[in-house]
Copies of this chain bind each other. A is one copy, B any other.
Amino acid sequence: MSQLGMTLEEIRAFAGEGEIVGSASVYCESVASLERATGNQLSFVKSPKFFDAARESAAGALLVPERISDLDTPQLVVDAPYELFGRLLMKIAEEKRRQPVGVHPRAIVDDSAILGENVTIGAGAVVREGVTIGHRTVLYAGVYVGQRTVVGADSVLHPNVVVMEDVTIGDRVVIHGGTVIGADGYGYLQIEGRHRKIPQIGAIAIADDVEIGALVTIDRATLETTAIGRGTKIGDLTHIAHNCQVGEDVLILPTVAISGSVTIGDRVVFAGRAGCSDNVDIGEDAIVAATSVAFQDVPAGTAVWGNPAREKGTEMRIQSSLRRLPQMVRDLRAVKKKLDLP
């Protein structure tokens, strides 16, 4: 299932470096983890910590950071085995998802759209008026790209992704299935007891190298631009509300919810199902722990925890005290009795 189909010699050629210990002609049909690899599978050893595991592995060949002694398995010694393994995975992934280049006859591309070279547009995909699609970008089947939206080069929009009008997407951006970019933000004005819509006419800008999971919603700004910075990675089923300014290299794990007009600094981490209320400012390199929700600004470099989120040490002391709380109820009762307090 994870086809590789290379000899160790071919892997060295692909790596452009490395010294082979043992047979260079060993054939690696596929890849696997150290624990699961069997005879014709390649695995990797991240660091000397895993040398014993490597000696017990049934892998047919190994990528290693230095020669492992007392081991018959053929080894390719490289500087960064895990990185090389990752590059091999990428090669396999690309082959598994290879698309026939070109516009499918059942795609619907408006005459005014500008398509780069070697673009792939799947069956039933819809490209509206004034759209620009960059070189080598892939739109899978069922993708919708709204009026005047620009998608950069080498990007991939998976099946049934919806990108509404006036969105800008950079180069090498990956968006997984069913995600919706550019729905209206949640904004209403109360007039005589009724909720009247505040039209959301702003834009969205997604920078280069961003990856967005499946079934994510990123809402357009009311007037200006909801922005996602370069290299930021967003997990499945996450919501990013209107007017948010998300920095670069941010990690937003699956099922996170970011309310409106939030500013998120570079390299911030929102762990799984974390969140924050609207208009808060999350400083650079801050960490919001899993399921924690920031209702106030988080200073740069700070880890917060809990709901409402507090500085991590503070919350840990509260959580630790909570476990003693039922005993404290009894202790306090005994104290009051002894002191004849009501």
Contacts and interface: CB of A to CB of B under 8 A. Distances in A.
A272 B259 contact: yes
B186 A213 contact: yes
A109 B216 CA distance: 28
A101 interface: no
Interface residues on A, range: 35 or more
Which of A124, A191, A278, A332 has the most C-beta atoms of chain B within 10 angstroms of its own C-beta? Answer: A124
A329 interface: yes
Given A82-B189, A195-B249, A183 B236 contact: yes
Given A142-B124, A275-B273, A231 B336 contact: no
Interface string A293-335: 1010000000000011000001001111111111011011011
Contacts of A86: 189, 196-199
A271 B180 CA distance: 22
Give the oligomeric copy count: 3
B31 A223 contact: yes
Nearest to A317: B326
A280 to B, nearest CB: 12
A103 to B, nearest CB: 14
A237 B268 CA distance: 23
A235 B140 CA distance: 27
A132 interface: no
Contact of A254 (B97, B257, B324): B257
A28 interface: no
Interface string A173-207: 01011101001101011010111111111110000
Contacts of A195: 231, 233, 249, 251
A255 B257 contact: yes
